[in-house]
């Protein structure tokens, strides 16, 4: 997909989120899965926000979700994003439970509505980083 995304700034890669970014580079979405209560969480952290357990594994996610809310960005927050405006920033409820923020990408992205079904895709930001984004798969 040549939509100018490869020229956007790469995200900051924190140590806690290393497995998340390494999986994304392989086109896989993973999140921390708590041993204590069995819930997935996003963002990564040391303790489970539901039960306080510090034992977790990185578990695979389906990448399927539903748009909970969205906004259309017309005025880019910095010059790097001007080439892709207008674009969609959405909150997505994943099948596994967590809600994550990402862009909706693809030719029909500006038609995104609350409740649309979406699936993850991986957008290259230079040669070594891919960012999980989403595409519409139905309304």
* Closest distance to Zn ion from the beta carbon of 34 (Å): 3
Sign of CA dihedral 49, 53, 59, 62: negative
The DSSP result for 1-68, as a single string, is: --SSGGGSPPPP--STTHHHHHHHHTT--EEEEETTT--EESS--SS-TTT----EEEEE---EEEEE
**Residues pairing with 88 in the sheet:** 72, 104
* Closest distance to Zn ion from the beta carbon of 97 (Å): 11
Determine the size of the site formed for Zn ion (CB under 5 A): 7
Q: How many residues does the chain have?
A: 139
Sequence-separated (6 or more) residues with CB below 8 Å from residue 123: 1, 5, 103, 105, 130, 131, 132, 133
* Closest distance to Zn ion from the beta carbon of 119 (Å): 26
Based on CB atoms, which residue is closest to Zn ion, 4 or 38? 38
Based on CB atoms, which residue is closest to Zn ion, 6 or 51? 51
* Closest distance to Zn ion from the beta carbon of 52 (Å): 7
Q: Which of 3, 19, 28, 36 binds Zn ion (CB under 5 A)?
A: 36
* Closest distance to Zn ion from the beta carbon of 37 (Å): 3
Please identify which residue in the block is written with the tokens 């039960």. Answer: 51
Based on CB atoms, which residue is closest to Zn ion, 14 or 53? 53
Q: Rule CB under 5 A: which of 37-96 touch Zn ion?
A: 37, 48, 50-51, 53
Q: Which residues bind Zn ion (CB under 5 A)?
A: 34, 36-37, 48, 50-51, 53
């Amino acid at each position: 997909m040549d939509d100018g995304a490869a020229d956007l700034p790469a995200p900051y890669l924190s140590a806690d989120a290393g497995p998340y970014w390494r999986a994304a580079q392989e086109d896989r979405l993973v999140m921390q899965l708590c041993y204590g209560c069995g819930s997935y969480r996003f963002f990564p952290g040391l303790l489970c926000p539901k039960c306080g357990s510090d034992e977790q594994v990185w578990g695979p996610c389906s990448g399927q979700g539903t748009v909970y809310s969205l906004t259309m960005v017309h005025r880019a927050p910095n010059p790097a994003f001007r080439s892709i405006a207008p674009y969609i920033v959405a909150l997505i409820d994943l099948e596994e439970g967590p809600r994550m923020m990402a862009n909706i990408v693809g030719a029909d992205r500006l038609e995104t509505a609350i409740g649309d079904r979406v699936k993850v895709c991986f957008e290259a930001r230079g040669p070594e980083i891919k960012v999980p984004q989403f595409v519409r798969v139905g309304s």
